Amino acid sequence: MALADLLGMDRLPPATVTVPVAKLDQVLAETGDGLRDVVTRLVGPIEDRAGQRAAAIADRAELWAWLAGHPVVVGQPVLADWVGFVRKLGLVGGSVARTRSLLEQVLTVLGELPATGVPLPVLAEQTLRDSHGLDDGTRCATLVLRALAAIYEVPMPADVVERRRLWERAGVADDELSSVVLVAGLRPTGPGLVSDMLRLCADAGHVAALTLAHVRAAQWSGGWPETVWVFENPSIVAVALARFGTRCPPVVCTSGWPNSAVVLLLQGLSSAGCRLRYHGDFDGEGIRIAANVAARTGATPWRMGASDYLDALGPRPAGPSVGRVTDAPWDPDLAGHLREHDVTVSEERVAETLMAELDNYRSPG
């Protein structure tokens, strides 16, 4: 009877009756309360499940967009695959906030790698404010190692020994003597052992082999050159010394992937106001090394654009395959040409072109 009165029916409804929600809402609205208000008073607040689902989807999309656009990821496009892996893992405990917090920690650590030879607990304390934050088996350490495996294009380490080797490759706990950087043509005017060594070697037309301990003791106060050329391969430094001798322009060699001594030296030169111009091999790994050096030291790729690659190929391209290629942050067309031609252009192949440009430099002294 109550339902008949509410709906203004002229007869009693059957035992089971269906009333459209819109009709019920309209009738209740005439009494001053809508359907939502009445139900809320009777059973409590009504959840907007569709809205909650839409908000959760939007939050997840925002999280993954933030991760893909993070400067550490953008600076090293090889990490795109790692981003895909992280997405497949899903949210930590179903929480966007917890996932973002973890990823912020991981990206903070990656932003400091290659490290300058610090032990792992020290790196963890410096980046995470927790000396155990990168202990073996932690979520953060596992994701950092997977990112490093992607950067260096090696399998994910399967045991403690392999994990330690990968950390060492990224400059964690490097030996101060075995981590070495090759330098030529640098004549800093400031005091100190490192400045003396560099001047003596430059004046003799020889390369200086600085250990990580040397670089840590360097003083960056004065007399550093405006431009320093950085090469991937020691053979190019040898060519430069053979050609220029005591007039060799300032050059540094990463010897492939930069170790702790290389990164610390280049960062020091950059902080002293030197402009770093980097060149390496035109192949998949060479592009990843260049991106890594640029991201960690502020170096600018030099003669490493798509047009430089095409010019170096010549009319009859021949050479090893370029391997897996990721995008080059400094030239959006380069990766496409590498994949299309699939021919490596080593630094040695373009050595004469590089030397011709260095020939325009006139070293003091």
DSSP secondary structure of 178-237? T-EEEEES----S-SHHHHHHHHHHHHT--EEEEHHHHHH---SS---SEEEEES-HHHH
Which pLDDT tens digit goes with each residue over 312-354? 998 888 889 999 999 999 999 999 999 999 999 999 999 999 9
Q: CA 181, 126, 98: angle at the middle one, nearest 5? A: 125
Give the Cα separation of 172 and 327 in Å (integer): 27
Instruction: List CB contacts of 262: < 8 A, sequence separation 6 or more.
Output: 181, 252, 253, 254, 255
Instruction: List CB contacts of 72: < 8 A, sequence separation 6 or more.
Output: 79, 107, 110, 111, 295
Give the Cα separation of 7 and 20 in Å (integer): 11
Over the Cα atoms of the chain, what is R_g? 31
Per the listing, tokens 């003791």 go with 217
Residues 276/300, Cβ–Cβ less than 8 Å: yes
* Distance in Å from the first CA to the final CA of the chain: 109
Alpha-carbon torsion angle 109, 305, 264, 257, nearest 10: 70
Alpha-carbon distance values, 35 to 13, 26, 336 (Å): 20, 8, 60
Question: Nearest CA to 117 among 30, 27, 183, 215?
Answer: 215
Tokens describing residue 69: 């656009």
Strand partners for 229: 251, 277
Q: Domain boundaries in the chain?
A: 2-43, 53-169, 180-358
Question: Nearest CA to 188 among 224, 162, 220, 216?
Answer: 224
Structure confidence at residue 364 (pLDDT): 47
What number of other Cβ atoms are within 10 A of residue 358's Cβ?
A: 21
Structure confidence at residue 305 (pLDDT): 97
User: Would residue 117 be called left, alpha or beta, if left means φ above 0 and alpha means ψ between -120 and 50 degrees?
Assistant: left
Residues 249/363, Cβ–Cβ less than 8 Å: yes
pTM > 0.85? no
Residues 202/224, Cβ–Cβ less than 8 Å: no
Q: With H, G, I as helix, E, B as strand and everything else as coil, classify residue 279.
A: strand
Assigned fold of 180-358: Dna Topoisomerase Vi A Subunit; Chain: A, domain 2 (3.40.1360)
Residues 259/179, Cβ–Cβ less than 8 Å: yes
Structure confidence at residue 303 (pLDDT): 96
Going from the first residue of the chain to its last (365 residues), give the mean pLDDT of each consecutive group of 10, the final group possibly shorter: 54 66 64 64 66 80 96 93 95 94 97 85 92 92 96 90 88 78 95 94 97 91 91 97 95 93 94 96 95 93 97 89 94 97 96 92 54
